[in-house]
Structure 1
Amino acid sequence: MIDECLVAEFRIDGDDCPLARATTSVPVTIDASAPQLRADGNVLLHFTAPPDDRLPDVLDEDDTIRYLHVTRTDDAYTYRCLSKHPCVVHELVDVGFLVESMQYSDGGATMRGAVVGNEVLRGVMEKAGQTVGIQLQRVYPLRTDEESTIGRAWELTSAQEESLEVAYEMGYFDLPRTITAEDVATELGISKSAFLERLRRAQHSVYGVLFG
């Protein structure tokens, strides 16, 4: 049994992924589940984004997207589709990277996942170094409370839970507030708008559980 599990975050730029391309045309942040690779090389995608009717139009016009389905609510649009574009993340999956979340914004993607043991991490890092446009953002040991029931209980994504935790630890919710959204975003390594979007979605999930 391997005792050590590591959490790694990578940034992907220049992949020409349809979701990344879409965020260059529509200024939204897309939260995606891990892409599912089919035997024929096509990829099944499931993702959400803030309500914006421009995004479905951009994706529908993309020749690499097929069978696009959109579920619209006042709070978010949920998308399911097939992508004919091979996803670069599978190159890391093939060497042991366990994708847990992906977020697309500003023409690129940030992915977070687990690596079991340093030996696997070395293989993942070597593959990342050979793949154009992938850069390691950070890596740290999986804490004993990393897989707590907090996120599941409140229906939060790992990115949303992390954003709330960092914001709380920095004093963003203190009164009077001395920490700005930009301060928290810098600590997280994301844009201010991406942090505020995560915060809004996390609040919606929490309130949804509280008030049914």
Structure 2
Amino acid sequence: MGLVAEFDIHCDALPLVGVARAAPEATIVLALQFNHGDRPLFLTTVTGGSRTAVEAALTDADDVDEWTVIGTADSTRRYQAVPALSLADQLGDHIDDLAGLKALATAEATIERIEVTPNGWRQSGWFATRAAFDEFSSFWQQNAGFRLHRLTHDGASEPPGDGLSDRQREALRTAYEMGYFDVPRRTSLEAIGTELDISASAVSERLRRAQTSLIEETVATTWPPLPD
């Protein structure tokens, strides 16, 4: 059974990171069209943010030779960009092991989504084995920065959202806004209970269950001990 992973690669030399930094309110999803030799075309879907800022950033980007709008729908635009550099040339001054980078292209893995961020790429993908994932993650840990968000068996169900009920979310938000999590604490369970019209003990129980849900859906899933 394969593995499904979601992770960040922190490397500001990756393609279009400069565009994401210039337009941080936009969501930029990148697909690389590898049938164009050593300079795969950038097919980019941009949602939200300032269209003017995004297109100015594409024009100014050192890694983009030229770009074209190929579709629009509401707040989403699609661009095709011709890279100014090969991936090897673009990353050569930032990654020591270019041979290792090329080797990743033959790994038993499929990257299904690349979101460009102001610090690098957030990717999700499928890996045939734990060894294939370890090879991939070890390369980026040694050559840039790597942060794993989720690693699960292929086909394992994922709980929707953050696992919180509406009442738990309301209790957390109210406690946060009133300063319950500040150091030093600026409010009490009794005061939060008055705001929510419930008892202090009910607030305590609701916050405890909410925190447990958040831990189970975030921290506890970032590096699970997977069976062989």
The TM-score with structure 1 as length reference comes to 0.62
Q: Note the 1:155-174 alignment, pairs <5 A.
A: 165-167=160-162, 169-171=163-165, 174=166
User: Do the aligned partners of 2:68 and 2:81 also contact (CA within 8 Å) in 1?
Assistant: yes
Residue 19 of structure 2 corresponds to which residue in structure 1?
Answer: 22
User: Do the aligned partners of 1:5 and 1:116 also contact (CA within 8 Å) in 2?
Assistant: yes
Identity of aligned residues (%): 19
Residue 79 of structure 1 corresponds to which residue in structure 2?
Answer: 79
Structure 2 counterpart of 1:117, which letter? T
Residue 29 of structure 2 corresponds to which residue in structure 1?
Answer: 32
User: Do the aligned partners of 1:91 and 1:127 also contact (CA within 8 Å) in 2?
Assistant: no
User: Do the aligned partners of 1:9 and 1:138 also contact (CA within 8 Å) in 2?
Assistant: yes
| Secondary structure of 1:35 counterpart | strand
Q: Note the 1:23-172 alignment, pairs <5 A.
A: 23-38=20-35, 40-49=37-46, 50-52=48-50, 53-70=52-69, 71-85=71-85, 86=87, 92-144=104-156, 165-167=160-162, 169-171=163-165
CA offset at residue 127 of structure 1?
A: 2.7
Distance across 2 between alignment mates of 1:33 and 1:22: 12
Distance across 1 between alignment mates of 2:68 and 2:29: 15
Question: Which residues of structure 2 form unaligned runs of 5+?
Answer: 92-100, 177-210, 220-228
Number of aligned positions between the proteins: 165
Distance across 1 between alignment mates of 2:138 and 2:9: 15
Distance across 1 between alignment mates of 2:36 and 2:26: 29
Residue 95 of structure 2 corresponds to which residue in structure 1?
Answer: none
Structure 1 counterpart of 2:80, which letter? R
Q: Tell me: CA distance 1:113–1:29, structure 2 relative to 1, closer, same or farther (3 Å).
A: farther
Structure 2 counterpart of 1:136, which letter? L
Distance across 2 between alignment mates of 1:103 and 1:15: 13
Distance across 2 between alignment mates of 1:185 and 1:76: 31
| Secondary structure of 1:95 counterpart | coil
Question: Which residues of structure 1 form unaligned runs of 5+?
Answer: 147-161, 190-212
Which protein has the larger Cα radius of gyration, Structure 1 or Structure 2?
2
CA offset at residue 96 of structure 1?
A: 2.6
CA offset at residue 140 of structure 1?
A: 1.5
Distance across 2 between alignment mates of 1:90 and 1:72: 34
Distance across 2 between alignment mates of 1:105 and 1:8: 18
Distance across 2 between alignment mates of 1:78 and 1:141: 32
Greater CA deviation, 134-143 or 80-89?
A: 80-89
CA offset at residue 38 of structure 1?
A: 4.5
| Secondary structure of 2:134 counterpart | helix
User: Do the aligned partners of 1:98 and 1:115 also contact (CA within 8 Å) in 2?
Assistant: yes
| Secondary structure of 1:12 counterpart | strand
Structure 2 counterpart of 1:48, which letter? T
Distance across 2 between alignment mates of 1:185 and 1:25: 32
CA offset at residue 59 of structure 1?
A: 0.6
Distance across 2 between alignment mates of 1:25 and 1:34: 20
